Structure 1
Amino acid sequence: MKTPEKFALKVKDKIRAQINSATSNKHLYSQKDFLYERKGPWPQPSPVHPWGESPAVIHVPFREVADWWLWIGLRYMATLPLAPFYYLKAKIIPGLKEVTNKEFEDLLNYSMMSKFLSDQLDEEDWRVFSDYNKDEREWFIVDLDAVRVVKTFPGIYASASKTLLYKEGERFIVQAIYIKDTETVFDISEDSDAWELAKYFVLQGGALCATLVVHPLLHFPFDSINAISKTSLPKEHVLFKLLSPHFRFTLPLENAVLNYKSSLLQEKWWMVYAPYPGGPAGLRDLLVEGYKGIKGNLSYPPFSYSLNSPGVEGKYGIYLKSYYEVFYKFVSEILSDVEDGDFWITKWSDYCHQHVNDFPKGNDIFKGDTLVRVVTTYLFTVTVAHATDHYNYGILDKRQVPLRLRQAPPKKGDKMMKRSKLVKAWDQMKYSMADNLFFSPTTVTKLIDANYKFKCPRRRKAVITFKKDLIDLDRKLKKEGIEYMPLNKISASIQF
């Protein structure tokens, strides 16, 4: 190429960089310095619930979709032939298992369902449990009121419920259950069929709210940050390098769940992997209840981007907080020399603020340790918090925690049908398939293997220290009996 032509290209590139960037030389980047040349994914209102769900990313780059199909989508297809096996298994071992009072209490204390424990009892809670003295004990509630929006199929039942507990030492003791559909309160002292059935309705509600109310808050609001970061941050920027190992597989997965006609949320009768008790309208309303909150219900505030570790009671909360602190230390070290007012971080923060509730604005991101907490929350959520929910739910006995029930909610004196009849083989086959495909984790890329591609020796050393801290924490939690998920199974991103 002739010299004048080379010179002309350089001039054009400089002009293009000036137009597409800041006016200062410090910020000069051309389009090629961005992952998708600034034409990448971006959040928009959700097509299904534009005003009720978090913004969605529906225009996903082809190479990400292809990557997802190669590593995840094909596994889904290969798993479908297992449906007859699961149906036969459900025929041989039919129905549900007994849930003792201790097992019921353990599930509310130690599983991911402990996320529902709250000491914020509102007026409705005390109206329901008016026979109990407010001041007698340190009361807690497991409020599963969101279930009221589910529109069940004929012959299948679900009910909103509230479980009253009190704290004794480090344990939460079950006192009573309220079943909303029959407006009946059952005290634990009532050893009856109706009490046994009420426990199943609570656990069914817990399963519904776990998978479609609270857990989605670890998924979909964070998609906006994923997309905005890919499109607005230069590839060589420290923030992009810190975030990008935690992006893979997420956007195609989320789009498939929310918008594919084959999604389990469509809950068509023929879908061998769709286990829910009702159709898509009610199921999507559960997502809305989680994101928008329930007015007047203190257990369901609207989604807000948190700058702290999750406020979860019990051992599950201790586990989550311990990991959050390790991430916080790592992010603090990586971003320690980022200048206040960094142009790209300011723009990134302003973009995210437009799409993520309570995400700090650009002029607030550098106040105190706000930037560190913002990034810590993202990394921690899409790795440990998300993966551990899946792992813990995956190991629950699905014959004790049903998603469908074939008997109506109980009233006082009701007899429970045989446990073998409470669910059908078809119901359990669907549940087992969904568990294999979606609920239980199948990790492709691991957190411990994340490659941050830092060139700076100090940051490379920080990565080594971070991974050592993760390993040390995993060992410590295991010794203390609160290793909710082995470190070597925690995924690097939302990929299931």
Structure 2
Amino acid sequence: MAVELKEPKDFLYERKGPWPQPCPEHPFGESAGVIHVPFSEMIDWWLHVGSRYMTTLLYTPVAYIRGLLNPGLAEVSDHEFTEMLTNSMLAKFVKNVFDSKDREIFGDILHSEHIWICDFEPVIVVKTFKGIYASATKTLLRKTGQKFSVIQIYVDETKSHFTPGDGDGWELAKYYVLQGGALCSTLVVHPLLHFPMDAVNAITKTALPKDNIIFQLLYPHLRFTLYLEKAVLTFKTSLLMSKWWMPYAPYPGPYEGLRDLLVEGYEGIDHNFSYPPFKYQFEPEYIEGKYGEFHQAYFPVFRKFATNVLVDLTETEVFYITKWADYASTWVPGFPKGVELIRDRELLISTVAYFLFDVSVGHTVDHYNFGNMDIRKIPMRLRQAPPKKGEKITLDRKKLTKFWDFGKYEMARRLFFSETTKTRLIDTVYNFGKRNDKLQKYVVEFKNELRAVDKKLAADNAQFTPIDDIAASIQF
């Protein structure tokens, strides 16, 4: 059967749809952006997502009053500190690989067994406002059985090491670690779930015919995303702009240093094994502990679903999938070429399954988890200079932040950080056209298996977000 070349009417936007381009702000340091978004998608976003931002802004006075009533930061015990690093989104940073800089800083202790590191080196690029401080940190943990304990913190700004017996110096160092966790979570690692996928989103809508099985499988997971990403990356009112007058801009410094954190995440840090350059993945990255267990439990369900759907491809579908992959591989590092996907069915399945996983489960769980953290325990801003070993340090938690620091952070949490699902993964409707009768049974099976995983994770105390709150696409 020959390849059927499709006409413009066979495509969602008649081949005139969105397309990636070098990101205007950082064309050589960030993933490709999609700046020219169809008008219909803009309207859809404003009606269902942007309108929520506008109404949420009415909460601003309440957030600032709450800051007045809850001054400063709350105490974080050593046990809670360890749990925050190892049993939350921050577990993404807990590694058991060490680079030359780690060995220079910590020396022989790294030769001991069961030593792990939580590295927030990217914070070095952050520039701070007057009276506000930030510092890169590296934290060593010891793993005994399945339990971790924090044994040492290195504060880069003062070149100081602290251990649990160091009183207020240790307590202040913990806040600097958690500040690094907040910055690196929201601006270094999590953006890798967002922005590199925009090119795949745009190319799918523009380069694949509507009757192509890849289009039919991915399209329900592409809604709201492109205009959301454009708003984050280019709007003058984006929280990345970090202007003093923004009631929702919680970061410790101005735009320039914050944008550099996105570059650190995408380009990686040459000497640092914890921050490799971005490459498209074909399965979730290994994460130590229950947060990783959550990810690993869901991915096989997506892979099985993709396996069941991607069958009996026509020559025409293969032709356009090849072009789709070639286009995507130009803009997304590590994305397979078309010939690779067609020669290797397992690679095709993994490529599609990971995209589905990323924009739904992988993305939502980060927001749900970080959005539910206590913002008085994982600060964005600190108003006491980093501790220096050997100097007298007096810690007054009430003075570590101002009430407006809390207000800005609380508004950012409500507007951007928390999960605010509009379309749910579990409700996703797929239209497989001529294959509908054959494939809808696999949709039912897919959703039943998602619920089964959710139930098991809840029983194992690893349900970091309920299945009913997982979004179908990147929409917050």
Q: Work out whether 1:422 is the aligned partner of 2:397.
A: no
Given the alignment, which residue of 147, 153, 160 partners 1:171?
Answer: 147
SS of residue paired to 2:110: coil
Read off the aligned partner of 1:437 and give its amino acid letter: L
Q: Work out whether 1:454 is the aligned partner of 2:432.
A: yes
| Equivalence for 1:43 | 20
Q: Distance in 2 between matches of 1:490 and 1:306?
A: 21
| Equivalence for 2:134 | 158
- Return the offset for 1:136: 2.3
Q: Distance in 1 between matches of 2:215 and 2:237?
A: 33
Cα pair 2:154 2:162 within 8 Å, conserved: yes
Read off the aligned partner of 1:432 and give its amino acid letter: E
| Equivalence for 1:236 | 211
TM-score (norm 1): 0.93
| Equivalence for 1:465 | 445
- Return the offset for 1:361: 0.5
Q: Work out whether 1:31 is the aligned partner of 2:31.
A: no
| Equivalence for 1:20 | none
Q: Distance in 2 between matches of 1:27 and 1:149?
A: 52
Q: Work out whether 1:480 is the aligned partner of 2:452.
A: no
Gaps of at least 5 residues in structure 1 are: 1-23
Gaps of at least 5 residues in structure 2 are: none
Q: Distance in 1 between matches of 2:56 and 2:392?
A: 40
Q: Work out whether 1:273 is the aligned partner of 2:253.
A: no
Given the alignment, which residue of 333, 349, 363 partners 1:372?
Answer: 349
Deviations 1:203-239 (A, max 9, x none): 0000000000000000000000000000000011111
Q: Which has the higher contact order (CA 8 A, sep 6+)?
A: 2
Q: Distance in 1 between matches of 2:166 and 2:153?
A: 13
- Return the offset for 1:291: 0.1
Alignment of 1:8-407 (within 5 A): 26-130=3-107, 132-188=108-164, 190-338=165-313, 342-366=318-342, 367-407=344-384
| Equivalence for 1:437 | 415
SS of residue paired to 2:157: coil
Is the alpha carbon distance of 1:339 and 1:309 closer, same or farther for their aligned partners in structure 2, counting shifts above 3 Å?
A: farther
Aligned pairs, number: 471
| Equivalence for 2:387 | 410
- Return the offset for 1:163: 0.3
Read off the aligned partner of 1:418 and give its amino acid letter: D
Read off the aligned partner of 1:226 and give its amino acid letter: N
Q: Distance in 1 between matches of 2:405 and 2:459?
A: 38
Cα pair 2:19 2:206 within 8 Å, conserved: yes
SS of residue paired to 2:380: coil
Read off the aligned partner of 2:463 and give its amino acid letter: E
Cα pair 1:447 1:492 within 8 Å, conserved: yes
Cα pair 2:3 2:319 within 8 Å, conserved: no
Q: Distance in 2 between matches of 1:53 and 1:343?
A: 30
Query: Please, what is the CA RMSD of the aligned residues?
Result: 1.2
Deviations 1:229-274 (A, max 9, x none): 0000001111100000000000000000000000000001000001
Cα pair 2:172 2:386 within 8 Å, conserved: yes
| Equivalence for 1:5 | none
Is the alpha carbon distance of 1:414 and 1:382 closer, same or farther for their aligned partners in structure 2, counting shifts above 3 Å?
A: farther
Deviations 1:16-50 (A, max 9, x none): xxxxxxxx853231101100000000000000000
Cα pair 1:43 1:227 within 8 Å, conserved: yes
Is the alpha carbon distance of 1:318 and 1:278 closer, same or farther for their aligned partners in structure 2, counting shifts above 3 Å?
A: same
Is the alpha carbon distance of 1:416 and 1:337 closer, same or farther for their aligned partners in structure 2, counting shifts above 3 Å?
A: farther
Cα pair 2:294 2:464 within 8 Å, conserved: yes
Q: Distance in 2 between matches of 1:386 and 1:74?
A: 21
Read off the aligned partner of 2:158 and give its amino acid letter: T
Q: Name the stretch that deviates more: 120-129 or 214-223.
A: 120-129
SS of residue paired to 1:303: coil
Read off the aligned partner of 2:39 and give its amino acid letter: F
Give the structure with higher Rg (CA). Answer: 1
| Equivalence for 1:13 | none
- Return the offset for 1:327: 0.4
Cα pair 2:172 2:395 within 8 Å, conserved: no
Q: Distance in 1 between matches of 2:392 and 2:181?
A: 22
Q: Distance in 2 between matches of 1:49 and 1:414?
A: 42
| Equivalence for 1:4 | none
SS of residue paired to 2:109: coil
Cα pair 1:384 1:491 within 8 Å, conserved: yes
Q: Distance in 1 between matches of 2:246 and 2:14?
A: 39
SS of residue paired to 1:274: coil
Cα pair 2:207 2:324 within 8 Å, conserved: yes
